[in-house]
Amino acid sequence: MLFAVTMDVAIPADLPADVRAETVAREKAYSQELQRSGVWRHIWRCAGQYSNLSIFDVRDNEHLHEVLWNLPLFAYMTIQVTPLAHHPSAIAIA
């Protein structure tokens, strides 16, 4: 199942620098692991924001929930999820 997921990140300004750096490093490692496995298919930065728009390919809703809840930055995110379906006018097959 494909989902478009927008993640807006708001790390508290008073979070200790070492905790911030360690959390961001774990986030990067986790996201790259998911990209290599094919679960996190695409990720784009939203220009001028600490946000991204991503495409996930997961088994079901519960799998997506598990993936998102395990993001190290999850506690600092506002997330919007949109289920996707193939469009009948698309010329490319995913």
The pLDDT tens digits along the chain (94 residues) read 999 999 999 999 999 999 999 999 999 999 999 999 999 999 999 999 999 999 999 999 999 999 999 999 999 999 999 999 999 998 876 5
Helix, strand, coil percent content, the chain, rounded in steps of 5: 35, 30, 35
Residue 92: per-residue pLDDT: 77
Please state the domain extents for the chain.
2-83
Q: How many CB atoms lie within 10 A of CB 65?
A: 12
> 2-83: which CATH topology?
Alpha-Beta Plaits (3.30.70)
Amino acid identity, position 7:
M
Pairing of strands 77-83, 2-9: antiparallel
Residue 93: per-residue pLDDT: 66
Residue 61: per-residue pLDDT: 97
pTM above 0.75, yes or no: yes
Give me the torsion for CA of 94, 72, 30, 51, rounded to 10°. 40
What distance in Å separates the CA atoms of residue 93 and residue 56, rounded to the nearest whole number? 16
